[in-house]
Amino acid sequence: MLLQNGKAPRPVTNVRDDTILKSSFWKSSSQERRCLVPASSFCEPNGDVKPATWHWFSLKGTDERPLFVFPGIWRRYKGPMKKDGPNVDFETYAFLTTTPNSLVATINHERMPVVLTHEEEFETWLRGSSEEAMGLAREYPPEQMRIVQEGAFKEDRVAA
């Protein structure tokens, strides 16, 4: 949730590696409530061009879209979803982003999700110290990724 005085909270699904430890909303989650978010691809729009062209990224591998995980954090949110709306109570999460690698930067020059692929990385994210966990916040090697879909539709039209 993005909390701003006088405005309705705005749901967010990602949190920046360079601000997570400063965030009043997410800081305690990064230390106490880490999770793994499984994925087989992710999409990014082509910057500020309207209408957006969506680009879906996947890892290279023997499977069409090999599984990987985003390092995530979660917390309970209690408050309104709309300005002056009723209070709600639910769990929300976000995944960690970092600077983009050279492949993702051709589409989105600002951020990309952190991608984890090894058991030891999963364990470090879930059980390591804050310093060890944040050490995983790095660009994924671009030569190990590919674009699997692009177009005007944000929906994934390739995956079954």
pLDDT higher at 3 or 11:
11
Higher pLDDT, 65 or 6: 65
Structure tokens at 3: 């909390």
Average pLDDT, stretch 79-90?
Answer: 78
pLDDT tens track for 28-47: 788 889 999 999 999 998 87
Q: Is the pLDDT of residue 135 over 70?
A: yes
Half-sphere exposure of 88 (CA within 13 A, CB side): 13
**pLDDT beyond 60 at 4:** no
Considering the domain 14-151, what is its CATH architecture? Answer: Alpha-Beta Complex (3.90)
CA–CA dist 135, 126 (Å, integer): 13
pTM of the model as a whole? 0.83
Q: Domain residues of the chain, as ranges?
A: 14-151
- Range list of H helices, the chain: 27-32, 119-127, 130-134
